[in-house]
A and B are shown apart, each in its own frame.
Chain A
């Protein structure tokens, strides 16, 4: 896959505080790239620099479109859903989408057709002539999403696209974003909800305090932090398991136990050591989540950063 966006060693300082420190990553055509981190990590600042809303103090941004490389953002070929989002409350859905797609250079007739297709997809076709203020928050967010992809951009940047959405709408969004990537769009998603993003991202970039923490394909990262987590429900103590030499650490929350296995320990290997008389009601095994990886690294500081991109 070819890179659509290349971010190279960007830096940004506000009032003497370095908010972005030497960050580099790429977004490829047809992939979903997740930029993740806790609140205030520098995700939105990075995205605003990509969008040309603010400029990096140092570093370079390259956009690759139709075989050409550009330093400035080709605004008509990029779609953007900002974190601070809204719509003109007094305007009608159709009007506002026509206006925004017009700014991206989309022909009115084509735009009108695509708007209706998208509205139907989101079951909002009957709201085309409704004023934005009559829409629910979720509906408005769908309209904003439509505005960011209507002109079929080469690169779509979605800043916290799932925040404020109910689980059903989150699923709809995930599905649509996946489809757009399958059609060849390069998609950059930022989120602090790691569980949601890890479900759809091909690659991720984790940022904390303006610095890179982790970067690479999701599977590689999980393999690197290759441990498994065993979730157990047991009323009584299970010392024979928590003290197992295969267990790295454990946490207890009432009758819920979660055991993190040591790196390179296969689940079957651990399961074979469970005595038959163990007072276990339920047991499940899963790869350690991105959230846990992040917490593990963040606690250890960003010096623990790894780059799996060039392995």
Chain B
């Protein structure tokens, strides 16, 4: 165990002091912020172009039209000259087009817009003219604006959960559950990728044999798994220490209140065992490859396995105790993420948790054992990526 810790410590410090890792550590939150902020920034910078329309006003409502267009990108210019010259004027002034407001508009609501370009979107103009038309017709009939608002107001729905939880609480709860499951998945992916890289590096740097003359292959594998787990956790802690207050402050989500303390040990068990399962799988398979490029289809598929959980996310959210949710909970490769997701969404029957935990634990132990066998042989094999048949043979030794 002492040697395992020495390896874990080495893996941890070697990566934690690595420039690339540090840059990634600091850049990721910045990139996240950028992804959130840049679209807004761009939308501010890239204001839509103002659209200029000439209007021939035969119903004396131009003033109202201009007033309605105050906060829009529309600009109206009243035209009182010859209609025949208007086409030319629009093209000359690079305006969007022109239209005529007349009695026919009041009666039928139809307006013909003459445009300079072939394709023009009228959504904003249409809204504006619709409002103008409605206002004018309301006046004509003689009902008050307030009465119109009263008549046209929509039904407003809000739900109150019998247990006392409001709708907002529930959507927050779903959000937090997805986030928790996502964090586990993220940890599996990032630490898994680093683990794989580390096993490959060991082979590429030709260090495996030197290390294996001092420690057993089991020690080396365990040390790597623990070291990268700690690395992943510290990465998460750093990011969450930025992300959680941000979620609290900006989005007003009381994250901690959403996780019930009683469930925390179950949550930690599934997260940890799940990490171990995939870490062992990754490091075992990683040791059988020469480099990332040489990964065969089968090996590539293994790295996609954590994604399996995604199949169940939709069905589980719509029915947290349905058949899909149960299958997702029992199947060891999806069990860690789906169980965590379900725990946040609904009350999961205890027997299901126990069965899922036993299956997951058993599978994890089996995978660790198989991975250790692959690792033992794979780490000493240079210049060749093992075939599936070879891997099978090593596992049966």
**Considering the complex, which residues of chain B in the window 173-229 have a beta carbon less than 8 Å from any beta carbon of chain A?**
201, 204-207, 209-215
A90 within 8 A of B: yes
| Closest residue on chain A to residue B393 by CB atoms | A15
What distance in Å separates the Cβ of A54 from its nearest Cβ neighbour in chain B?
A: 8
* Cβ-defined contact, B215 with A75, below 8 A: yes
**Does B269 lie at the interface of the complex (its beta carbon under 8 Å from any beta carbon of A)?**
no
Q: Are A51 and B207 in contact (CB under 8 A)?
A: no
Assess whether A84 is in contact with B205, with CB atoms less than 8 Å apart.
Answer: no
- Could you say which of B6, B14, B207, B380 contacts A86, with CB atoms under 8 Å apart? B207
Closest to A147 in B: B210
Q: Mark A160-171, 1 if CB is under 8 A from B, else 0.
A: 000000000000
In the complex, the chain B residue whose C-beta lies closest to that of A98 is: B10
Residue from A87, A89, A100 within 8 A of B214 (CB atoms): A100
Partner pick for B205 among A76, A78, A89, A100, CB 8 A cutoff: A89
Q: Answer whether residue B3 sits at the interface, using C-beta atoms and an 8 A cutoff.
A: yes
- What is the bound-complex CA distance between A89 and B205, given in angstroms? 7
Query: In the complex, what residues of A have CB within 8 A of residue B14's CB?
Result: 88, 90-91
Task: Output the least CB separation between B317 and chain A (Å).
Answer: 43
The answer to whether B206 touches A53, judged by C-beta atoms less than 8 angstroms apart, is no
> How many CB-defined contacts (below 8 Å) exist between A and B?
58
Q: Give the CA-CA distance A209 to B210 in the complex, in Å.
A: 26
Report the minimal beta-carbon distance from A96 to chain B, rounded to whole angstroms: 9
Contact of A90 among B7, B18, B212, B215 (CB under 8 A): B18
Q: Are B210 and A82 in contact, CB atoms less than 8 angstroms apart?
A: yes
Tell me which residues from 71 to 89 in chain A have a Cβ below 8 Å from any Cβ of chain B: 75-76, 78, 80, 82, 84-89
Given contacts A88-B14, A91-B14, contact A103 B211 (CB under 8 A): yes
List chain B residues, Cβ under 8 A from A144.
Answer: 210
- B205 A75 Cβ-Cβ under 8 A: no
CB pair A99–B213 under 8 Å, yes or no, is no
- A212 / chain B contacts, CB cutoff of 8 Å: none
Q: Shortest Cβ distance from B206 into chain A, in angstroms?
A: 3
Tell me if B310 is interfacial: C-beta within 8 Å of chain A: no
Chain B 1-52 interface residues, beta-carbon cutoff 8 Å to A: 3, 6-7, 10, 14, 18
Q: How far is the CA of A51 from the CA of B211 in the complex (A)?
A: 11
A87 CA to B205 CA in the complex, in Å?
A: 6
Check if B382 is an interface residue, CB within 8 A of chain A: yes
Check A102 for interface membership: any CB of B closer than 8 A. Answer: yes
Q: Are A82 and B10 in contact (CB under 8 A)?
A: no
Nearest chain B residue, comparing its CB with the CB of A50: B213
User: Once the chains bind, are A75 and B213 in contact (CB under 8 Å)?
Assistant: yes
Given contacts A86-B205, A88-B205, contact A53 B18 (CB under 8 A): no
Q: How many residues of A contact B (CB 8 A)?
A: 25
Which chain A residue lies CB-closest to B219? Answer: A103
Query: Please, how many angstroms separate the alpha-carbon atoms of A147 and B206 in the complex?
Result: 14
**For window 30-84 of chain A, which residues contact chain B by CB distance below 8 Å?**
48, 51-54, 75-76, 78, 80, 82, 84
Closest B residue, CB atoms, query A79: B213
Also in contact, A103 and B206, with CB within 8 A (given A78-B213, A84-B382)? no
| B213 A80 Cβ-Cβ under 8 A | yes
What CA separation (Å) do A222 and B251 show in the bound complex?
Answer: 87
Within 8 Å CB of B18, what residues of A? 90
Tell yes or no: A104 within 8 A of B by CB: yes
CA distance A102 to B7 in the complex (A): 10
CB distance from B378 to the nearest CB of A (A): 13
Contact B380 A53 (CB under 8 A): yes
Residue from B10, B211, B213, B214 whose CB has the most chain A CB atoms within 10 Å: B213
Across-interface contacts of B205 in A (CB, < 8 A): 86-89
Determine whether the beta carbon of A100 is less than 8 Å from that of B6.
no
The CA of A289 and the CA of B349, in the complex, are separated in Å by: 81
The residues of A with any CB-CB pair to B shorter than 8 Å are: 48, 51-54, 75-76, 78, 80, 82, 84-91, 99-100, 102-104, 144, 147
- In addition to A51-B212, A86-B210, 14 A-B residue pairs with Cβ atoms within 8 Å of each other are A48-B380, A52-B213, A53-B213, A53-B380, A76-B214, A78-B213, A82-B213, A87-B207, A88-B205, A90-B18, A91-B14, A99-B6, A103-B214, A144-B210
Can you list 19 pairs linking A and B with CB atoms under 8 Å apart?
Answer: A48-B209, A51-B213, A53-B209, A53-B212, A53-B380, A54-B380, A75-B213, A76-B214, A82-B209, A86-B205, A86-B210, A88-B201, A90-B14, A90-B18, A100-B210, A102-B6, A103-B215, A104-B214, A144-B210
The 4 lowest CB-CB distance pairs between A and B, nearest first, are A86-B206, A80-B213, A103-B214, A82-B209
